[in-house]
Amino acid sequence: MKTIRFKIDEELLKKVDAIRGRTSKTVFYSKILNEYISKKPEDNHSNNQISNLVNEFEKLRAEMAYKDALIKSMKDEKIKDMQNQLNSLQLEYQKLLSQLLKPKPHKWWHFWS
């Protein structure tokens, strides 16, 4: 076995000693390190979950961008359609207005009456 050394704060040492009880420091710290190392596969599982969430987020972002582009396209198409309708209505209005403002032709006999 190899020996390792490390420094910790006095407050942390008091908490660890309270938890450790009568167990020797070597056994207690070895147990803590073994538990930490044995939990690493779970961390990999959580990393997989995180990467899955990131992938899902990216898919949703791409879908949202696609739908935004689709909505913009539909909006632009609707605006063009409405502009065309407006132009045709304006032309019709001009035609009707010009017909209303034209004087009616008088028949020649109305001048002598």
Q: Residue type at 51? A: S
- 16: how many CB neighbours lie within 10 A of its CB? 14
Q: Residue type at 33? A: L
Over residues 38-55, the pLDDT tens digits come to: 876 655 667 788 888 999
pLDDT > 70: what percent of the chain? 87
Calculate mean pLDDT across residues 9-36: 89
Q: What is the pLDDT of residue 41?
A: 60
Q: Is the pLDDT of residue 20 over 60?
A: yes
29 with 37: CB under 8 angstroms? no
Half-sphere exposure for 73 (CA within 13 Å, toward CB): 6
User: Band of the pLDDT at 75, cuts 50, 70, 90?
Assistant: very high
User: Band of the pLDDT at 62, cuts 50, 70, 90?
Assistant: very high
Q: Is 29 exposed, middle or buried (0-12, 13-18, 19+ CB in 10 A)?
A: middle
75 with 83: CB under 8 angstroms? no
